[in-house]
Structure 1
Amino acid sequence: MSDGHSAAISWSDARRLAHETGRARSGGVELVPIADATGRTLAGDLTALAPLPGYASSAMDGWVVAGDAPWRLGAPILAGDRPASAPLAAGTARAITTGGPIPHGSRGVLRSENGTTRDGMLLRAASVRPDEPRAGEHVRHIGEEIAEGEPLLPSGVILTPPRVALAAVAGYDSLPVREVPAADVVLLGSEVIGSGIPAPGLVRDAYSPHFPALLAGMGVRVRELRHLSDDLAATTGALRASSASLVLSTGGTAGSAADHVRGALRELGAALVIDGVAMRPGHPVMLALLPGDRPMLCLPGNPLAAMLTLASIGLPLVDGLLGRPLAALGTVQLADEVKNESGQTRLVTFTLHADGAAPTSRQGSGMLRGLAASDGVAVIPPGGAPAGSRAETVPLPW
């Protein structure tokens, strides 16, 4: 096993290196119907196939008018009508609904509440501006939102519902997206049980109930999730049998006699990319390359450590695999002083209050209560951070 990064590296360097590792191994591209694209990662820059709006249309219900008042009323125009071939003659008005096509020669649209009709004529209401409508008023002009060929979305963005809607109105029926990485998850620990109240010496499985949904939200499909006892042969065999493009494990990364991930990686000839990170909790995390150049993220066994490591190191790895940019850190103002005498980056769960972010209670590496109650996770540098200062925050995948 190559130990190119045998010393613990900084938290920020680990994020960058995890992202670069994933980016160098990003998967293929597939074309999917636009109805199936929500939540996927765009695999190419999109430009508008047509202008939006594609024709001049009314922005509201009323009358489209030409020339000066009073206006003689013509046939109404409805949304969905084809644009008129003849221009609207001066002194003429036609009732129009929102989205109705504006005829050539029109001045603008008089709102429905601002006009009155009598004897086939349209007049402005008494309280209305004498120049309403001004030229182009209440008209959606061709290409007002998007010009044909204009950039719409960059490659690497997650296709949220508004982005899919934008692509649809810009003329797309299908979209190129990154293939979803398939992951195998190995949960290690002889003391872990899957149901019920654990007897003394045992603990409940904190990962199986939510890992598939959590990873799916990150853009990964869990192919297989296995629980193994702390055993070198079993761990090595499970990793050797996996052909997934991404492997994740929990537990077994420390140096005790019951921790076998490092030994299994050595037997498989894996290359270590990250071997420990100067962070608390989560410092024994490893990132390795299995045979076939497939990344394996080895998370600590303690629940809070594993979750915060997945968020801060695992998410950049997955973003890289999917061709996404490394997510920028947020910021928050601290309501209280947060101490950090460890010399390492400290990840602190917090709740938001009127005067800023306050650390939650019960956030030891083996605890989940503080994370479950939190509004976010702050990044506290060595030396700590005073009350009133701003701290960076971790993008969370939940």
Structure 2
Amino acid sequence: MTCRTLAAAALSAAFLAVAPASAQFADGGIKIGVLTDMSGVYSDLAGKGSVTAAQLAVEDFGREINGRKVELIFADHQNKADIASSIARRWFDTEGVDAIFDTNSSVAGLAVREVARAKGKIDINSGAGSMALTNASCSPTGAHWTWDTYSLAAGTASALADDPKNTWFFITADYTFGHDLEAQVTRVVKAKGGKVLGSVKHPFPNPDFSSHLLQAQGSGAKIIGMANAGADTINTIKQAGEFGILQGGQMLGGLNIFLTDIYSVGLPAAQGMVLTTGFYWDMDEQTRAFARRYGERMDGRMPTMVQAGDYSAVLHFLRAAEAAGTDDGVQVMAKMRELPIQDGFARNAKLREDGRMVHDMYLAQVKTPSESKGPWDFYKILKTIPGDQAFQPLSESTCALVKR
């Protein structure tokens, strides 16, 4: 586990804003924690990049709160619920952390959610996909920022299921996120007249997909839906190539693909794959400006949607804490719902009472090697999915905070 304190760089005194005279901050200022996967299967799509994105947000906020600089610390939850909850408890109880960000695994995210809820502290999840975060486990101090399994089904699965003759077989990570993703995609496939021929669960994480791919191949399904993420998805794609899956006429359904996955497998293996994302670095000048600054600190790498979402979440939290004049979790979260969300990540965005941050998502296709103009030039944006179509409507929510 790695953990160190980073101080935010302040702008010149002319740009500093003084907090309201009535400001109430328990420890005098604000301290945020990025709890992420620094060493495991999700470390590329989050990890160090999520810490860097959060640091950029602190710097862009550029103002002291209550006369003190914003502090940022980080740690590795190792994708384990007990480690995640232990760190969260220590951060809240003894280290003065006001809000936790990222928690890029449903196992870790749900564990942190319970600790934060009990202590009235804020947790903002950018990396996990489980629908439980805005349904059964919703919280008055919790938010789900970047994506979820519903939004992936609304994009990728909906596009691939347009042909009702398509049949599906799932290779699914055997934990909450994988089960959620398979269920959401199955819902869309069946609604469009398609059929699911079966599924196979794999341990998390998993280095060997040979037996799972053989079952998928034997099913005869046209689309093999990969209901996993990170290194598990990368291994699935690479090993599918070894088994000749594509040459045999089957298609890989990239249900949860990140920019770093394409970088790892390469365009020749990933070309033509359709995916859903909440952010693409080369979409417009605003996204490119953020990506350039990020890349300068990350050896030229471009941010994933998780990392860009962390930037957005941290920046909005800091603006809300300053406006509220307090670090009280309930009051700050109320202010976060009240203030407009507008930054390099969020378009047409709002934070709902169930904790879902609603924003536009994008259906993209991986370029061919000949279409790519340089490093990290991987996607063609096919269409924008408006936020009210990308995310579960409140009418379907089981969150106890939603007014009926």
TM over 0.5: no
Give 1 or 2 for the bigger CA radius of gyration.
1
Q: TM-score, normalised by structure 2?
A: 0.31
More helix by share: 2
- Report the TM-score when normalising by structure 1: 0.31
